[in-house]
Amino acid sequence: MKAKNVLIAVSVLVLVLTAFFLGQRTQVEVKKKTQVKKVVQPRIVKKKKAAVLPSAVIPSRVAKVAIVIDDFGYSKNNLPAFFDIKEPLTFSILPNLRYSRDIAKSAKEHGCEAILHLPMASHRKDVVEEIDTLKPGDSQKEIIARLSKDIESVPGLDGVSNHMGSLATEDKTLMTTVLAYLKKHNLYFFDSVTSDKSVCADVAGSTGIKFAKRDIFLDNSNDVDRIAGELAELKKLAFKRGRAIAICHDRKNTAIALAKVMPQMAEEGIEFVCLSDMVR
């Protein structure tokens, strides 16, 4: 009987211990499960497209412009203002005047071009003609003698333009003599187009001389704002045709207007060149 009681007691103890250990195991497993950190999926951040910055404004096309400044020779007063523009300009210089030679030399030293502004007869009766102005009816000998003298007074020149000349440029005989002589001396001719009846283009074609003609006048007015307005028209014309040639004059307000507007024109795609780059 005693042995039986001991056996029962042992069995109960085994059951109790088994239950105890099973309970501990369950608690540990539950605890482990609760301690498992939730796996957080990384956020997928969409990269923003890089902002497209506007590129520097590049002109869609480049147009060439030559600016010819007439009537130099009487004074050097405006030269510094024109040279300060720092763009190639073409100085059209009257012959045999006090400063003709000096201005031609200075123009070359500043990267500009010098041409002879050849006095020629006009229809106008309200203007005083320059000395030795060429006229229809002059003999070939007279024309060549004056041309030779005038060219010598403007050293280093590249070409010749007409000063006044609305009458002379309509005369085929006179212009044939002039252009044939210039071609022989490797000089181009620039028609200021003071007459809509000018024969210069036709004569240039027949003689084979390099030639160009004026497209626009810039300073019929001496007002700075008006000159700036003409420069705006010059720019439009240049972009339309790809090139344009303008004439202005040796005046203070013209220099002021050019200095004001030309840098902006260059930024917008205008390439300023000497007149020799435009002759054909």
Question: Mind listing the pLDDT tens digit for each residue in 44-56?
Answer: 445 444 444 444 4
Q: How far apart are CA 43 and CA 213, in angstroms?
A: 72
Strand partners, 188: 159
Across 174-184, average pLDDT: 98
Residue 28 has pLDDT above 60, yes or no: no
pLDDT higher at 19 or 196: 196
Residue 19 has pLDDT above 80, yes or no: no
Residues 200-232 pLDDT 10s: 999 999 999 999 999 999 999 999 999 999 999
With cut-offs at 50, 70 and 90, classify the pLDDT of residue 5. Answer: low
Mean pLDDT for all residues in the chain: 87
Burial (CB count within 10 angstroms: exposed 0-12, middle 13-18, buried 19+), residue 201: middle
pLDDT value at position 90? 98
Residue 246 has pLDDT above 90, yes or no: yes
Residue 38 has pLDDT above 90, yes or no: no
Domains in the chain and their CATH numbers? 63-277 (3.20.20.370)
Across 11-38, average pLDDT: 48
pLDDT value at position 210? 98
Give percent of the chain above pLDDT 90: 77
pLDDT value at position 50? 43
Across 9-18, average pLDDT: 51
Residue 95 has pLDDT above 70, yes or no: yes
Number of DSSP helices (H) and strands (E) in the chain, helices first? 8, 9
pLDDT value at position 61? 61
Residues 105-157 pLDDT 10s: 999 999 999 999 999 999 999 989 999 999 999 999 999 999 999 999 999 99
pLDDT value at position 59? 54
Residues 6+ apart with CB under 8 A from 26: none
pLDDT value at position 155? 95
For CA atoms 161, 164, 168, 169, the dihedral sign is positive
In angstroms, how far is CA 56 from the centroid of its own chain?
15
pLDDT value at position 269? 97
Rounded to two decimals, the pTM is 0.79
pLDDT higher at 184 or 42: 184
Burial (CB count within 10 angstroms: exposed 0-12, middle 13-18, buried 19+), residue 12: exposed
pLDDT value at position 16? 47
Q: To which H or E segment does residue 217 belong?
A: strand 216-217
